[in-house]
Structures are given as structure tokens and as C-alpha cells.
Amino acid sequence: MSKVQEITIYDLAKELKVSVATISRALNNDPAVTTATRQRVSELAEKRGYRTNTLARGLRSQSTKTIGVIVPRLNSYFTSTVITGMQGIAYEEGYSLVVLQSFESKQKEIDGAKCLFRNRVDGLLVSLSYETDNLDHFQSFIQKDIPVILFDRGERGNSLTNVFIDNKKAAYEVTKHLLEQGCKRIAHITANSGLHVYADRYEGYKKALTEAGMTVKDKYVIKGDLGMEAGTATAHAILKMKQRPDAIFVANDNCAVGCIKALKQHGIRVPTDIAVAGFNNDPISIVIEPNLTTVDYQGHHMGEVAVTHLIDKLKGRTATESNSAILLPSSLIIRESSLKK
């Protein structure tokens, strides 16, 4: 198959005996051009198989129409849902998404940010890695007025827009529910990370305990990578405790599932002996037996909100301040894994 020649606005201009400026205007629906010519232009463009050269346009208009996204990992239901939500809006608005993974590594996140910066994304959407403890690597974006929005895993005390849920409140509700089930010794498995998301979940856990007149016991707060294997490992550690907890609140579903699997293998009855609750409402939570009590929040919606705010900024139609925190709703979903009664 021989290579077909690319059509440019010059070709169209020549054929219609008008100037390239007119073609350009017609193609961009500039009201200055008559409806008639606009019609003729778009017809010919279609007929000749013209496609705008985004490179040339971008070079001229100093924008790539590309949004960079950095996520810890692609392989979670939540993340893919978020991205799907972002994609829907982005494509409607004429933006492409370039998605990178940090694999929970700060260095990879920095590298990814650099890469996207070099590639001149118009904006950046980031969910931070476990290891991330500052936002210096986004400074180059800020200096060039490239908007950066954090979603799900953001940080406080910065000048960026954050889109997340009220993690403290959600964790508080989970813990309170566990207390209401009569649990007296509630362990908490969380990420080995300084991110506020996890600190907030811990705070919620603590608040519920405190309100119930209990105190947080350090040995009951266990940190790991929240993977399924980590769940299994932590369960083993818990089984070795002299005084075993009677409930475990895990900061994500995957890890909670690993935990339940291990507990069951060792003959522990869930929830009778130990109740378990997770976080995220991953589909896996209704596959594990007993089905997992968890916190649900809409990744799809979060993605839409984050990208909408970003595009609003890009198009200069923003109403929101930077430095604002956008809180999305979440809800406790109670299933068998926590029902002692």
C-alpha cells in the first residue's frame, strides 16, 4: 500500500481558491467567516481526508492538549475507574490523557513528573505514592503555571487543589461500627506511608476509640504495603499476639482480603472471632467470604471532578481557588465480615 500524501490547509486553500487564513478560521468555526465558505471548507476537508496537524497547532498555540496523570498503580479497580471518569470528560474537551505509574515509589513519581514536564502536558493529575513526603517535584509545573491537581491521595498544606474524600470521617464510621458490634480490641492495618490519607484514617480510628473511652494501642497499629500478601503476613503476626484483637480495620480491601484468607486458614472464624473491615469497595470485597465490610466512594466521579477542575483552570473558566480541598462523599457498606450480631 503506497503512502498517502498528507493534506494540509494549503492544499484546501489552493483548491478552494481562498487563503489559508480562511481555511484555518473556517475549520475553527470562527464566526468571522461566512457560513457558506465554512460549509465548503468542511466539505472539502472531509472529502480530502484532511486531519489537523496537532503538532503544528500545538507549536503555534503553545499547548499539547495533553493531560498527564500519575497514579501509584494501574491495577486496581479504583484507579481504573478514576481514569475512566477522567477520560470521558477529557476527550469531550479535546484533551488526551497520558497515564504513568509511580509503583508507590517517590523516585518513580519524580521521574514520571519530569517526563510529563518535558513532554509539556498542559496539566497534571496526581495521586501520590506511599513514599512521597513533599511536593518539590511539582515545583517546575507551578513555576510555569501548569495546573497540578491531587486526587484521592493528596496532601494538606500546599497550594494545590485536592480532590478526595473525608478519610477521617470514613474511618471513624468504620471503627464506630466495629465498636457497635461489640468489638473491644480493634487493630488497624495501614500503609507504611506519611501520606495524610492514611494519617487521616488513623485519626478517624483514634477518634472513635477515644469517644468510646478506649485508647489506641501501638501494637494494634500495623503498617505495611497494603498488598494482599502483606495482609496475609500481618494476619500471621496478629495470630501470634498474646492478646489477639477481635477486629481489624484494614486501610484497603486488597489487604483485608489477604488478611481474611490467612485468618480462615488458621481456623479463625470471621467475624465471630475476629471481625474485619476494609476500604474502597473493590469488587473483590463481594468475592471473599465472608463478604467484606468496607467504605465505598465513586472513583468515576472523583476522576470527573478532578479533570473538570483541571480543564476549567486550563480554559480560564475557573471559579474555584487553588489551594482548595474538594471533598467527595463516601459511605460505609456493611457486610458479613463485621457483623458479630
Partner DNA sequence: GTGAAAGCGCTAACAG
Partner DNA sequence: CTGTTAGCGCTTTCAC
Q: CA 311: distance to chain centroid?
A: 16
Site string for DNA, 263-282 (x = CB under 7 A): --------------------
Please report whether residue 272 would count as binding a second copy according to CB under 8 A.
Answer: no
Gap between the Cα atoms of 123 and 91, Å rounded = 14
Compute CA distances 74 → 82, 99, 100, 104, 137, whole Å: 10, 9, 8, 11, 21
Asked if residues 234 and 274 have their Cβ atoms less than 8 Å apart, the reply is: no
H helical segments located in the chain: 9-16, 20-27, 35-48, 54-61, 77-92, 106-118, 139-143, 167-180, 196-211, 228-239, 253-265, 299-314
Site string for a second copy, 238-257 (x = CB under 8 A): -------------------x
Residue closer to a second copy, measured from CB, 64 or 127: 64
User: 8 touches which of DNA, a second copy, none (CB within 5 to 8 A by kind)?
Assistant: DNA
Compute CA distances 58 → 17, 88, 120, whole Å: 26, 22, 10
Strand partners, 325: 162
Gap between the Cα atoms of 49 and 272, Å rounded = 67
Please report whether residue 283 would count as binding a second copy according to CB under 8 A.
Answer: yes
Q: Which three cell numbers stand for residue 309?
A: 477542575
Select from 56-64, 177-185, 236-244, 323-331 the region that touches a second copy (CB under 8 A).
56-64
| Single residue of 14, 39, 43, 60 touching DNA by CB under 7 A | 60
| Single residue of 2, 3, 10, 180 touching DNA by CB under 7 A | 10
Please report whether residue 74 would count as binding DNA according to CB under 7 A.
Answer: no
Select from 9-17, 99-107, 128-136, 332-340 the region that touches DNA (CB under 7 A).
9-17
Q: Which amino acid is residue 314, in one-letter code?
A: L
Question: Which residues from 150-169 bind a second copy, rule CB under 8 A?
Answer: none
Please report whether residue 42 would count as binding a second copy according to CB under 8 A.
Answer: no
Compute CA distances 287 → 71, 252, 257, whole Å: 25, 15, 9
Please report whether residue 217 would count as binding a second copy according to CB under 8 A.
Answer: no
Gap between the Cα atoms of 230 and 121, Å rounded = 36
User: 252 touches which of a second copy, DNA, none (CB within 5 to 8 A by kind)?
Assistant: none
Gap between the Cα atoms of 278 and 281, Å rounded = 8
Asked if residues 268 and 149 have their Cβ atoms less than 8 Å apart, the reply is: no
- Residue 1 C-beta: closest distance to a second copy, Å: 6
User: 80 touches which of DNA, a second copy, none (CB within 5 to 8 A by kind)?
Assistant: a second copy
Gap between the Cα atoms of 223 and 238, Å rounded = 12
Strand partners, 275: 247
Q: Which three cell numbers stand for residue 273?
A: 472471632
User: 97 touches which of DNA, a second copy, none (CB within 5 to 8 A by kind)?
Assistant: a second copy
Please report whether residue 194 would count as binding a second copy according to CB under 8 A.
Answer: no
Please report whether residue 64 would count as binding DNA according to CB under 7 A.
Answer: no
Gap between the Cα atoms of 120 and 99, Å rounded = 14
Q: Which amino acid is residue 304, in one-letter code?
A: E
| Single residue of 19, 21, 28, 59 touching a second copy by CB under 8 A | 59
Please report whether residue 21 would count as binding DNA according to CB under 7 A.
Answer: yes
User: Site residues (CB under 8 A) for a second copy?
Assistant: 1, 3-4, 6, 49, 51-56, 58-59, 64, 73-75, 77, 80-81, 83-84, 87, 91, 96-101, 115, 117-120, 140, 142-145, 228, 257, 261, 283-284, 287-289
User: Site residues (CB under 7 A) for DNA?
Assistant: 6, 8-10, 17-22, 24-25, 27-28, 31-34, 37, 50, 52-53, 56-57, 59-62
